[in-house]
Amino acid sequence: MSSVALPIDLTPPVLLAPMAGITDLPFRTLVASFGAGLVVSEMVASHDMLNARPGSREKAELGLGAVGTAVQLAGREAAPMAEAARMVAGQGAQVIDINMGCPAKKVTQGYSGSALMRTADHALTLIEAVVKAVDIPVTLKTRLGWDDQMRNAPEIARRAEAAGTQMITIHGRTRCQFYKGQADWMAIAAVKEAVNIPVIANGDIVDSATAHRALQHSGADGVMVGRGARGKPWLLAQIAHALFDRNAPTIPQGRQLAEMVQAHYEAMIRFYGPELGFRVARKHLGWYMDTCRTPADVRRAVLTAPNITTTLSLVGEACDVDTRVAA
């Protein structure tokens, strides 16, 4: 297996999950540079997009050229979902992904995200509206169901396929599980059996071994990687090499790693502006230092640095393991 049969080429079928506050343009660009079948934006609320709420356009900003890019939309009404889909398609999105999987209370209380699994008939009106609104592929990301008494992902997947959805991604948990327990990859197999379109497995895929087991248990056509990619933007390319015979990525180490982290930091400062970027970038620096096993005192210095210039200087020491060892 080397690709997913969509109008765009998803080779390799290893996708970056949409993650709020994480998969912004700088991070998507970095992950894509190592190699990914598709990178997905942070979830964008359709109403926010149409009303130009601060931050919504930035989350969906593309700028990736030929790189496979999906913009994930969330909402609870068909007309705004369709109009937002037309808007981001006009901005250059290659895929529109509909969010029916977010478990956050602020989303489900607004009858969006995984709350739509409780009202399948209504959810289908959103899917149908988005499919009719754009000429690009529409995909769906959802969970196994609302809870263990309502595991209706196979039914929703069948109906979504009939409505024109071209790929389904399933997180192997119910909404009420949030991120607790273990993802049930075997339960994804029922969705795979229910449809003829590609199915992507998601949940607890953090390395090549877990990706392999997820594919074995689910029978899925590919995998979507989320939290495991934090601090490891090359992870998707590693999985693609191990499972789909792609070229092995060159994983930066020592000075090269430090320079990559510094470049990512500077890209975030340019994207968000100095004040917001300085704050937003801290979590990424923390994840990189987890990967580098940065000593606690150095980590503390980086995360409490008073300005951008000092942070850039300290990041070099924090992530250049060779320099730390030599010292």
Active site residues per annotation: 102
The closest alpha carbon to 165, from 202, 205, 126, 214, belongs to 126
Please give the structure tokens belonging to residue 287.
């994840």
Residue identified by tokens 């709420």 is 53
Measured distance CA(50)–CA(80) in Å, rounded: 7
Write down how long the chain is: 327
Q: Is the dihedral of CA 264, 269, 275, 280 positive or negative?
A: negative
Position 223: which residue type?
A: V
- 112 neighbors 76 (Cβ within 8 angstroms): yes
CA distance 20 to 104: 11
Contact call for residues 166 and 137 (beta carbons, < 8 A): yes
Residue with tokens 């199915």, as numbered in its chain? 199
- Measured between its terminal Cα atoms, the distance across the chain in Å is 46
Residue with tokens 């924090």: 318
